[in-house]
Structure 1
């Protein structure tokens, strides 16, 4: 939590015990501890224990001290709260000092690049920043919270990456997405906006990386672009953050605009066609990989190397992405023409359909109509920065 603009919490490095303040009050007023004890209805021993910092100052004692010293009970209670909070923080730091090694499990360079950490050191400060970033109290709590994800990863036989890197990339997506202000989600307006989104394929990345998130936010979709993270093998994620706000996070894993647009419309299909209670993790489309994966409580999707694995949701999402970009009827008409598929023919067809030539190339490669090396110069490089 941050303080409101212009205000700062009172957090001295070594806050005094209320007994120190009480002693200063007694010395200033030239009042003995015994006299204070009589006027406050306390034993001299109890007052001395407060002054020495041996016992805590309870709300009941704070009320008595207000009447005896003129210092408000609220002030005494605040002094006690600040002192006890500081003591608890010191104890927490002592416990965390033995768990600093946990920091080393994370992609520290990536976290520093994203502004989560100030450096890449395995330090207590970075451990505390990591816990705050993930919104958990201790490493044990984090491990327990992620257990369901790990089980899903293992069941899917899909995610071969490092679990800590996966958790990091997903959390960066979520934090960025939650900070984007969106209009309430509207399925009808989202469907109506698909042609406008499709038209953005004709623009350069510098433009659509600005315009597409803006358009999505107006429809209740928080779209974030996060650089690909090594050892995650993830190209996208879809997750509902609230009943009226959904997150789509996309990486630049494959570095080309055709794969980006297919991934975007694939994730959009999950928003429009599938349940709000599931998280969809997109493993992406590797050249030559044709399998898919089954669902799990944390729904993983993408291509799997498991023979016979299938997913109706994945087929639906793939079909939606394909038809949203290039209607099947138009593609088949193009392929039925007697002329051979050439770069010029692709450009002409793309212009007729109203999409970037790279999208056509990617579709033809996926359909194995042309080799993966064909017309790659028609594709545009896509890279996301850390901002």
Structure 2
């Protein structure tokens, strides 16, 4: 989905008070304000206030003007609405002038690169762009809204990084996920798809990127690949967009197949095991990932999906004696998964040094 800045372009002042049109209509028809007052039953003072723009033109008055001028009431109502909207927009502009510094909390250069903002300038127009992007009325509303959301986030990091960058990344992912056409979520369908999803680990990275979203959509999961913004340290996120549609967003920050697949199945674990009320923001490098019950469960789900119970006796034997490294390739072939995934797990469990076996990992990029 293209989040073009032109979607939120600020409209320059083009509306005019309906009184200007009324004055022109009266002059063209040779009708004075006094005569119009007699014909409509309104006071001359009220007619003059409408002409001067100091009084609003009501729908009832629009009907009266329709009868006298011949211009439809819908035209008068539209002129009034456009004018009042323009006034409200200008009043809002004055209020927002004192809040443009709020933009400084955000990674503006990255927002420009992702077509959210047209420039990095701290201007009212850019503030309006950003508020429209987030779908909020004001910076204060955004802060209050995010304050409530953050209380419901489950994040596996003890000290969350830049929350503004995090909120921006999550919004980008959500907007993209909303555009993905999915079947209604069915837990059984997603469970039945796990073997097919796991089998993709043996394919080339391009196959994952092309085929995974379509497979996930069958089960009601919108899969999004969205590179992380700076200072977020996120690897993935899970959020329910509707009761029938879940979003799984991956940053692919480590760019190796072992990390990619573990994170992917970790997020699916949140979808399958945990409720629909929480948003899970995951940084698998944090200590709390080993203590938060939901994170522990999602980790266990990912590990058991990648190396199922029937292959664990052979894996335990491999863990005790992983060398020569050709043993890893033989085990991976029998288990039907990529050898890089096995290397990553052995490294995590200290059965291999982190410099050993890395040649078996597939590297990839979303660029």
How far residue 343 of structure 1 moved from its aligned partner, in angstroms, is 2.6
C-alpha contact (below 8 Å) 1:183/1:217 kept by paired residues: yes
User: Greater RCO between the two (CA within 8 Å, min separation 6)?
Assistant: 2
User: What residue in structure 2 maps to residue 351 of structure 1?
Assistant: 333
Q: Are 2:93 and 1:108 equivalent residues in the alignment?
A: no
* Deviation per residue, 1:122-171 (Å, 9 max, x gap): 22222111101111000010011011344567997624301101111111
Mapping of residues 319-338 of structure 1, within 5 Å = 319-336=300-317
User: What residue in structure 2 maps to residue 59 of structure 1?
Assistant: 59
User: What residue in structure 1 maps to residue 357 of structure 2?
Assistant: 375
C-alpha contact (below 8 Å) 1:100/1:124 kept by paired residues: yes
The structure with the greater share of residues assigned to helix is 2
Q: TM-score, normalised by structure 1?
A: 0.87
CA distance in 2 between partners of 1:380 and 1:118 (Å) = 36
Aligned in 2, Cα 1:155/1:230: closer, same or farther, shift over 3 Å? Answer: closer
Aligned in 2, Cα 1:32/1:208: closer, same or farther, shift over 3 Å? Answer: same
Mapping of residues 1-387 of structure 1, within 5 Å = 13-151=13-151, 158-284=158-284, 286=285, 291-292=287-288, 302=289, 310-336=291-317, 340-385=322-367
CA distance in 2 between partners of 1:20 and 1:36 (Å) = 15
SS in 1 for 2:241: strand
CA distance in 2 between partners of 1:159 and 1:111 (Å) = 24
Aligned in 2, Cα 1:364/1:157: closer, same or farther, shift over 3 Å? Answer: closer
Greater mean alpha carbon deviation, residues 59-68 or residues 209-218: 59-68
Aligned in 2, Cα 1:218/1:109: closer, same or farther, shift over 3 Å? Answer: same
C-alpha contact (below 8 Å) 1:153/1:159 kept by paired residues: no
Structure 2 stretches lacking a partner, 5+ long:
1-10
Q: TM-score, normalised by structure 2?
A: 0.91
Q: CA RMSD in A?
A: 2.0
How many residues are matched? 356
How far residue 229 of structure 1 moved from its aligned partner, in angstroms, is 1.8
